[in-house]
Chains A and B, each alone.
Chain A
Amino acid sequence: MVSQYMDGELGPDEKKDFDSHIQSCASCREGLEEIRVLHGLFASAERFPAPYGFATRVLANLEEKAGSRLRSLLSIRPLFLRAAQAALALVIMTVGITSGNLLLAERNDLIGQTAVQETFSLDLFQATPPDSIGGIYNTLMRPSHEK
């Protein structure tokens, strides 16, 4: 009752009764006084504000958790989607290898004849002048009916 009286939690009738009771009860008066002192101590005790940067840390934590949730959602994509991705990668690799081989074969035909001539020539405008090493090589290699 003393505690509720102190906190103003008694109804009007209860409060009136207690007010008259306390006049004649030394024990209740003493109890009330002690609770008042205790209340005064709490009132003068320090209040601790949230530390500097607290809100920023909470928001950063929330963003981090939202990011990891998104990552985990992406990591559980369905099986058919994973199979489709693998098939697409295989098609790209096959097309790349086939077209690369075709281009290489074509290029070999073109450079086959001229490669040797260019290798031994120092003349930038005529691939194989007759007196160069390339020219001599060409003369030797020419079919015999041209002589």
Chain B
Amino acid sequence: MTFINESDLIERFKKGDPSAFEAILLRHQDRIYNLCRYMLHDPQNAQDAAQDVFLKAYRSLKDFRPDSALYTWLYRIAVNTCLDYMRKLRREAIKREPLTEDVPSDEPFPEQLYESGKITEALQLALQKLPEKLRMAIVLREIEDLSYEEIAEALHASTGTVKSRISRAREQLRHLLRKI
């Protein structure tokens, strides 16, 4: 199989070749879906959000400037899309159950899941308890393995802000997964 350079694919797309977008989609679908899954937790919401990411990318790829890597550009779209989804889900939850704040949840604590060896579930649950901006920063660092500079670009923030968010996210996660 021949490896096609990403900038060639973008050029082909700009010239009207629809198969170029399909190649980009196949190349990046896993990392974008994975990010959405860790951000939104629910598989269906993650799938819907990831789909929205690629629809938005299709519409604006003609304006893409190669001064950043395509994957960081896609991550930026994914970050904004996930934030929109989180706000929407929060509004829907408030509308659906406005009076259930005092009712104890039967949801397990992250450390209980961790003790029973369910590491992925424990981490996902702990991540859901973090503020959105901290969650986004730590997922991009630990799950997607981005550098601080790439995270800053994806989040539209300074590297100083990124350092601070990652450090705070780790502190809170250590507290949530007390047994580690």
Q: Chain A: residues with CB nearer than 8 A to chain B? A: 2-4, 7, 9, 34-35, 37-39, 41-51, 54-55, 57-59, 61-62, 65
Bound form: Cα–Cα A45–B170 in Å:
16
Task: Flag the segment in B72-80, B86-94, B95-103, B172-180 that touches A.
Answer: B172-180
Within residues 141 to 177 of chain B, which ones have a CB less than 8 A from any CB in chain A?
Answer: 141-143, 147-148, 163, 166-167, 170, 173-174, 177
B50, A45: Cβ atoms under 8 Å?
Answer: no
List the A side residues contacting B173 at CB < 8 Å: 38
Q: Given contacts A3-B163, A34-B174, A38-B170, is CB(A51)–CB(B55) below 8 Å?
A: no
* Contact-residue size bin, chain B (C-beta under 8 Å from the other chain): 35 or more
Of the residues B58, B123, B141, contact of A45 by C-beta under 8 Å? B123
Interface of A is mostly: helix
7 inter-chain pairs at a CB distance below 8 angstroms, sorted by A residue, are A34-B180, A35-B170, A41-B177, A45-B143, A48-B46, A50-B30, A50-B50
Is B128 in the interface zone, CB < 8 Å from A?
no
CB within 8 Å: A-B pair count: 85
- Which of B58, B141, B148, B170 has the most C-beta atoms of chain A within 10 angstroms of its own C-beta? B170
Give the distance in Å from the alpha carbon of A61 to the alpha carbon of B33 in the complex.
Answer: 17
> In the bound complex, how far is the Cα of B162 from the Cα of A7, in angstroms?
12
